[in-house]
Amino acid sequence: MPVIKYPRIRDPLFYEWDRKAQKCGLRHTIYAVNGDQYTGEWLDNLKHGKGTQIWKNTGAIYSGDWKFGKRDGYGSYSIPDPVTKEYKRVYTGWWENDRRGGRGMFFYPNGECYEGEWSNGLRSGWGKMQYKDGSVYEGQWLVDQPHGQGVLQLPNGNRYEGGWKDGKKHGPGKFFYLDKGQQLEGIWVADIPKCGVLVDFGRDSAPAPPQYPLPEIELHNPAGVLAEARAMFDDSHN
């Protein structure tokens, strides 16, 4: 009985070409259609592991960890100076799902700097912000604004310690006027002190004390008045 041989069924050539084009493991520089380039590790055709990405349009560079095609882990992001063309570091720290997430340091174009916690690309958690005018805020953040408890140190040495809400002093707090040797303890609402007790605090050694000392309050108990104001504030916000 004759034996009939059929031709071996083979996959189309483009299947083989596609298999060879799949990127996995450490690869040399890969160029995208738009001119971006990536050098580093891959997994299932996605950037995964350690790698460096350069964006053609902006010249920005990210070097660090990747996870399934997105920046995730620890890495550094830098951009070239438009005048000197030298690279300036913008952010160094942790990333989550292609956004700043975790702890990291961010350098602003105007010279300001933030070091602390991030969430979804925004300052959230505990962090320290150094402003251009010399002020320093350290405390809690929420959605890119001071929110919770924190301390603001002003360039002249004066400082505020207390509550914050949406970037403004809010709630019980203390303001130390070290230049005048006085202290205000009270309740703030949207950056404005609504009530409180102002007392002399190291007035004799202050660089610019007021001409006359504050009179002593005899008819009321300052601590009691302040405690009552705090209670009223807490009740109105519960």
Q: Are residues 92 and 141 in the same domain?
A: no
109-140: per-residue pLDDT in tens? Answer: 999 999 999 999 999 999 999 999 999 999 99
* Torsion angle (degrees, nearest 10) of CA 108, 110, 111, 113: -30
- What pLDDT is attached to residue 18? 45
37-83: per-residue pLDDT in tens? Answer: 999 999 988 999 999 999 999 999 999 999 999 999 999 999 999 88
- What pLDDT is attached to residue 221? 53
Tell me the whole-structure pTM to 2 decimals.
0.79
Q: Are residues 135 and 224 in the same domain?
A: yes
Q: Do the beta carbons of residue 56 and residue 50 sit within 8 Å? A: no
**Mean per-residue pLDDT, 16-43:** 75
- What pLDDT is attached to residue 157? 92
Q: Identify the domain containing residue 222 by its residue range.
A: 129-230
CATH of the domain at 18: 2.20.110
* Torsion angle (degrees, nearest 10) of CA 183, 189, 190, 196: -20
Cα 171 to Cα 46, 139, 188: the distances in Å are 49, 15, 5
